[in-house]
């Protein structure tokens, strides 16, 4: 490393406070914090900076030719996109934790980085798999082809599901607990609807394909409709319910989705508790590996920002998708997997026969059936698991089943994934 790199931080919130603390108070060799920008400069962050280091105008940073690296930590699309684009255009490198921006506008940003021969550090956008991203930066995405990736990528959701599993709490109770612990936002929509996991899966897909092309739409389902009943029944069957980001590579297509799924309780993903993230990879040779990391938080994320800054300062490679190459997403209806199904039916003879007749029509084979005692006076639950079946056929069959007079509520559908670690 030849020179001290001058660093400016835009966004002095939770993560920004951690980065500023590490750069200014602890001190990182080769990195000098010279400017901090935020619209709120009055809140006590437990650290006093010289007034000349503070600004509420980000243009002062992007327009300053002395600043080498801009750390964008405000989140969202705008003005974050404009800040990054202007910083790059004016000869600066960038580090960011903005997963939403990279997922939605990555095609524009990564192309801009490559056209200008600049650098952008993105590991902090994906703390739960930052070590994997670092490895890709060292060896390149071409070194290995991944058959599948199953990942728990949202600490809030894993915390909620862990509390529902271990303590029998309802979804609402577990969510309130997560908010009280500072693990969920006041508006938790991005987390519980699966959007945060979607953003991370989009970034991961771009990295393993080495393509910055926007992938298009794929199925995204969150956890707000998960019922404690299903968690208990899954446990009886030897499974845990988790929110999983899925990437599966078959022939020339990638099957991508985000949804709650049953995974074996004793697997890496199934046993993961609390706000941790976990990722399971299977490569082209069938070798399965996994990793666990804190999902987020002030210091895990701040530390990852610092690692990106040091890589930029030392001229080390940083992983980003570097090709405009296109890849194809598979049709969600053609995916084959196993299913967990919970029916709410009238307590009368012949119900099971009506359901299985419809399944026979759609070539769906039943692996197991469990009939539980009535938990409500209006209906009894029947739990089924299937052998491998086509998603489109299962959806069509369930649509018909739900129209039967004996079915008293919408059938609950959860996928079963064969996590192996």
- Give the residue extent of every domain in the chain: 5-121, 141-294, 333-416
Instruction: Identify the CATH homologous superfamily for domain 5-121.
Output: NAD(P)-binding Rossmann-like Domain (3.40.50.720)
Is residue 420 very low, low, confident or very high in pLDDT (cuts 50, 70, 90)?
Answer: low
Task: Output the CA torsion sign for 295, 299, 303, 306.
Answer: positive
pLDDT in tens, 125-171: 887 666 777 666 555 556 678 899 999 999 999 999 999 999 999 99
Q: For the chain, what percent of residues have pLDDT higher than 90?
A: 76
In DSSP terms, 414 is beta-bridged to: 340
Q: Which of 198, 193, 227 is nearest to 215 (CA)?
A: 198
Distance CA 240, CA 230 (A): 10
pLDDT in tens, 208-249: 999 999 989 999 999 999 999 999 999 999 999 999 999 999
**Vertex 129: Cα angle to 225 and 283 (nearest 5):** 95
Q: What is the mean pLDDT of residues 186-191?
A: 92
pLDDT in tens, 325-363: 888 999 999 999 999 999 999 988 899 999 999 999 999
Q: Which of 368, 354, 336 is nearest to 397 (CA)?
A: 354
Q: Which of 243, 253, 220, 223 is nearest to 334 (CA)?
A: 253
Please give the pLDDT value at position 1.
45
Neighbours of 167 (CB within 10 A): 11
Distance CA 262, CA 282 (A): 18
> Is residue 258 within 8 Å of 119, Cβ to Cβ?
no
> Is residue 203 within 8 Å of 130, Cβ to Cβ?
no
Distance CA 182, CA 317 (A): 34
The CATH number assigned to the domain with range 141-294 reads 3.30.360.10
Please give the pLDDT value at position 308.
94
**For the domain with range 333-416, which CATH number is right: 3.30.1280.10, 1.10.3720.10, 3.30.70.260, 3.10.580.10?**
3.30.70.260
pTM of the model: 0.91
Provide the pairing of β-strand 380-386 with 366-371: antiparallel
Distance CA 242, CA 157 (A): 8
Confidence check: pLDDT of 297 > 50: yes
Confidence check: pLDDT of 372 > 90: no
Residue with tokens 């598979």: 330
Is residue 46 very low, low, confident or very high in pLDDT (cuts 50, 70, 90)?
Answer: confident
Q: What is the mean pLDDT of residues 305-319?
A: 93
- The mean predicted confidence, pLDDT, of the chain is 91
**For the chain, first and last CA: distance in Å?**
40
**290 Cβ neighbours under 8 A, 6+ residues apart:** 268, 269, 278, 279, 280, 281, 421
> Where is pLDDT greater, at 116 or 135?
116
CA 359 to chain centre: 33
DSSP 28: B
> Is residue 204 within 8 Å of 356, Cβ to Cβ?
no
């Amino acid at each position: 490393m030849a020179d001290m790199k001058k660093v400016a931080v835009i966004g002095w919130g939770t993560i920004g406070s951690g980065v500023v603390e590490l750069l200014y108070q602890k001190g990182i060799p080769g990195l000098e914090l010279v400017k901090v920008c935020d619209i709120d400069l009055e809140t006590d962050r437990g650290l006093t900076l010289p007034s000349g280091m503070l600004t509420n105008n980000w243009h002062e940073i992007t327009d300053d030719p002395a600043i080498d690296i801009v750390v964008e930590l405000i989140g969202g699309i705008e003005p974050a996109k404009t800040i990054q684009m202007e910083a790059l255009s004016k000869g600066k490198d960038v580090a960011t934790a903005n997963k939403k921006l990279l997922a939605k506008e990555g095609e524009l940003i990564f192309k801009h980085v490559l056209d200008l021969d600049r650098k952008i550090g993105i590991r902090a956008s994906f703390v739960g798999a930052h070590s994997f991203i670092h490895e890709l930066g060292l060896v390149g995405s071409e070194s290995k082809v991944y058959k599948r990736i199953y990942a728990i990528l949202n600490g809030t959701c894993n915390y909620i599901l862990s509390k529902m599993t271990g303590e029998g709490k309802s979804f609402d109770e577990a969510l309130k607990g997560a908010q009280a612990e500072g693990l969920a936002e006041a508006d938790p929509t991005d987390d519980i609807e699966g959007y945060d996991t979607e953003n991370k899966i989009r970034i991961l897909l771009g990295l393993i394909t080495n393509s910055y092309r926007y992938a298009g739409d794929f199925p995204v389902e969150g956890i707000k409709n998960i019922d404690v009943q299903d968690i208990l029944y899954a446990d009886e069957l030897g499974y845990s319910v988790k929110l999983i980001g899925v990437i599966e590579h078959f022939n020339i297509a990638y099957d991508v989705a985000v949804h709650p799924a049953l995974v074996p309780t004793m697997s890496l993903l199934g046993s993961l508790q609390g706000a941790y993230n976990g990722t399971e990879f299977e490569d082209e040779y069938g070798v399965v590996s996994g990793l666990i990391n804190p999902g987020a938080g002030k210091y895990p994320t701040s530390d990852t920002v610092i690692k990106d800054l040091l890589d930029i300062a030392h001229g080390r490679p940083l992983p980003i998708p570097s090709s405009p190459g296109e890849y194809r997403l598979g049709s969600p209806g053609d995916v084959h997997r196993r299913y967990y199904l919970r029916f709410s039916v009238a307590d009368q003879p012949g119900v099971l026969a009506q359901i299985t007749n419809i399944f026979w029509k759609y070539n769906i084979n039943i692996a197991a059936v469990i009939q539980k005692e009535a938990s409500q006076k209006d209906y009894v639950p029947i739990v089924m698991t299937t052998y491998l079946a086509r998603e489109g056929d299962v959806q069509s069959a369930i649509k018909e089943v739900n129209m039967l007079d004996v079915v008293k509520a919408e059938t609950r559908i959860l996928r079963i994934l064969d996590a192996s670690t």
